[in-house]
Amino acid sequence: ETREALGKAKIDLEDREASHAEEKKCLEEELGKLQSVVAPAEGEPESVRELTTRAQLVERIQQLGEGVFKAAQHSWE
């Protein structure tokens, strides 16, 4: 009876280890994908590297657009 219980415990442990190894592999793949998404693009200015969300990027583009508009407006005056 003890041997049978030990055998079942070993099988259960092996199954859990395999399951955790597969889960770890999936998490590592997901981490790699996320890291490649947030990696800076070639030639990306330092000033935009801290922007981590699409909303932040859109806000920065709007600010730059307003700055260009004001500069153009000032040059016409």
Q: How confident is the prediction for the chain on average, in pLDDT? A: 88
Q: Residue range 22-49: average pLDDT? A: 87
Q: How many domains does the chain have?
A: 1
60, 48 Cβ separation under 8 angstroms: yes
Q: Calculate Rg over the CA atoms of the chain.
A: 27
pLDDT surpasses 80 at 61: yes
What pLDDT score does 11 carry?
Answer: 92
Q: What is the pLDDT of residue 73?
A: 85
The answer, yes or no, to whether residue 77 has pLDDT greater than 80, is: no
Q: Domain range for residue 18?
A: 2-39+51-76
Q: How do residues 20-33 score in pLDDT, each as one tens digit?
A: 998 999 999 999 99
Identify whether the C-beta of residue 57 lies closer than 8 Å to the C-beta of residue 45: no
On whether residue 56 sits in a domain, the answer given is: yes
44 lies in some domain: no
Whether 46 maps to a domain, the answer reads no
Question: What percent of the chain has a predicted confidence (pLDDT) above 70?
Answer: 100
